[in-house]
Amino acid sequence: MALARPSRKNVNLAVGCLLLFLLPFAGIGGFMAVIAVQRAAARNWGDAFLFALVAITFGGVGFGGIAVALAGRRKLKAQEVLEAGHPDSPWLWRSDWASGHIDDSSRGTMVTAWIFATFWNLISFPSGFLGARAAIEEAKPAAFLALLFPLVGIGLLVWAVRATLRYRKYGVSRLELSTVPGVIGRTLIGTVRAPARMQPEDGFQTTLSCVRRVTNGGKDSSTSESVLWQDERRVAGEPSRTAAAMETHIPVAYRLPADALACDDTDSRSRVLWRLQITAVLPGVDYKSQFEVPVFRTSASDLPLSVDEERLAGPALGEVEYQQPATSRILVTSSRRGTEVFFPAARNPGAAISLTLFLLVWLGCIALQMYFRAPLVFPIVTGLFGLLILVGVLDLWLEVSRVTVDAGTVSWATGYVFPARESTLRASEIADVNVSIGMRAGNTVYYDVVMVRKTGKKVKIGRSVRDKREAEWLAGVIKKAISI
């Protein structure tokens, strides 16, 4: 089935509007550059420096944006040719997807980091300087808030430097897919070739995610992502010598669920994409690579897995004896009442510490607003959001849950520090026990154990399990105890 794409007329109109928007920036940049040269000729170095910064900022946005827009227009024309030749095979619309050789985003991340950090600092440092000068000369302490922007700029520079160090150390990794595309209901198989010799003690953490990226708003739009499906595996890398240098080969194999969504970018404001991420803890800068992979539904989606797919993807959970990780804080015991699953407090200390630090920064912002006597509406709104963050912090540090199961009933209780009053259901009222994606912290997903009643109502009886396989195992333990 062919996907609807923007027409050539719409593309040309969009590019034309963008050029009209960028021309004033280019004009201002050129005009400020002339003034900067004049001030320099008059040996007025202070004004020359400020006008030069403005010229670089506006001229960079204007002339750089025009160059990017024209290059993008040429790329779109080439894209039209590909789409016309393969209307029902969208994985052939990208040359890297079509070849099955996909480079990671390390070079692009480094370039983006430097561009963003450079423009931010070109704007923020003059603003911070002027704000600090006004605060000192005009006795306006509120103007010191302008220094927050250069502080953010320093953080962006750190990000750019780290991205550069990672790129210089590990180069560009390449994912070579054995299956093009990845077929929903089958197995995605491939190998990541990293141009460096690496032997991390804990191996490589591989994560495959299906993500929906949504853009909201108009002029001041914002983009957010939600994970629709995710699976993780820890694998060992294999050193390999090529004619050029040593490499590390990292195997990738994932069973793709039959009900998953395919890659879809027909609506630029609500895209579905599949992302593979590989990380490893190593001395100095950690290894990290990320790939956008083609996953689609084809005529092969309804076919059974081949022997090779079964072997590479490994047995499904339940086909082998699962061993709960030694580091897990969740307790599964047997007592006279039956099988008991206890979810203790602070079972995810990393997430709890991160959210606590974020809350402290948020409270600092509220304190600054009150100190500088901002309009009352600002600390009130900020404070309300702070309460929501506080609830999340309390949940991560203090919430406990206890699930007790026998052949006839399921009882569960949740509370802070100690479980509260129990709720109970008869086994005959329960249709299933499964897992669902719960809390998210960046790209990290935590899972909830969910009990589904025959009426369709769902009850979360255990929250925030970091390991998906452990969450599925816990759901299986409960199902077995109630004989579902």
The pLDDT tens digits of the residues spanning 291-341 come to 999 999 998 888 887 777 777 766 655 555 778 888 899 999 987 878 999
Whole-model pTM: value is 0.77
65 φ, ψ to 5°? -65, -40
Q: What's the CA gap between 190 and 96, in Å, rounded?
A: 14
Residue 4 has pLDDT above 60, yes or no: no
pLDDT band at 113 (very low <50, low <70, confident <90, very high): very high
Residue whose C-alpha is closest to residue 30's, from 3, 7, 51: 51
**In b/e form, how buried is each residue of 9-46, taking b as 16+ CB within 10 angstroms?**
eebeeeeeebeeebeebbebbeebbebbeebeeeeeee
Separation of CA 266 from chain center? 21
Q: Which CATH number fits domain 174-305: 1.10.10.60, 3.90.1150.10, 2.60.40.640, 2.60.40.10?
A: 2.60.40.640
**Quick one: average pLDDT of 201-216?**
91
Contact between residue 235 and residue 203 where contact means Cβ atoms under 8 Å apart: yes
Measured N-to-C along each axis, helices 377-398 and 349-371 cross at an angle, to the nearest 10 degrees, of: 160
**Quick one: average pLDDT of 218-226?**
74
Q: What's the CA gap between 54 and 76, in Å, rounded?
A: 32
pLDDT of residue 9: 56
Residue 158 has pLDDT above 50, yes or no: yes
Residue whose C-alpha is closest to residue 399's, from 387, 417, 412: 417
pLDDT band at 407 (very low <50, low <70, confident <90, very high): confident
Spans of all domains in the chain: 8-168, 174-305, 331-481
Kindly report, residue by residue over 378-405, the tens digit of the pLDDT: 889 999 999 999 999 999 999 999 999 9
Q: What's the CA gap between 337 and 406, in Å, rounded?
A: 7
* Three-state SS letters, the chain: CCCCCCCHHHHHHHHHHHHHHHHHHHHHHHHHHHHHHHHHHCCCHHHHHHHHHHHHHHHHHHHHHHHHHHHHHHHHHHHHHHHHHCCCCHHHCCHHHHHCEEECCHHHHHHHHHHHHHHHHHHHHHHHHHHHHHHHHCCCHHHHHHHHHHHHHHHHHHHHHHHHHHHHHHCCCEEEECCCCEECCCEEEEEEEECCCCCCCCCEEEEEEEEEEEEECCCCCEEEEEEEEEEEEEECCEEEECCCCEEEEEEEEEECCCCCCCCECCCCCEEEEEEEEEEECCCCCCEEEEEEECEECCHHHHCCCCHHHHHHHCCCCCCCCCCCCCCCCCEEEEECCEEEEEECCCCCHHHHHHHHHHHHHHHHHHHHHHHCCCCCHHHHHHHHHHHHHHHHHHHHHHEEEEEEECCCEEEEEEEECCCCCCEEEEHHHEEEEEEEEEEEECCEEEEEEEEEECCCCEEEEEEEECCHHHHHHHHHHHHHHCCC
pLDDT band at 2 (very low <50, low <70, confident <90, very high): very low
Q: Which amino acid is at 11?
A: V
pLDDT of residue 1: 42
Instruction: Pick the range with the lowest mean pLDDT from 132-136, 186-190, 355-359, 390-394.
Output: 132-136
Contact between residue 22 and residue 6 where contact means Cβ atoms under 8 Å apart: no
Higher pLDDT, 116 or 134: 116
204 φ, ψ to 5°? -105, 130
Contact between residue 171 and residue 117 where contact means Cβ atoms under 8 Å apart: no
**Quick one: average pLDDT of 187-213?**
92
pLDDT band at 83 (very low <50, low <70, confident <90, very high): confident
Neighbours of 353 (CB within 10 A): 14
Residue whose C-alpha is closest to residue 406's, from 431, 433, 425, 432: 425
- Which tokens in the block code for residue 248? 């590390």
Q: What's the CA gap between 152 and 107, in Å, rounded?
A: 23
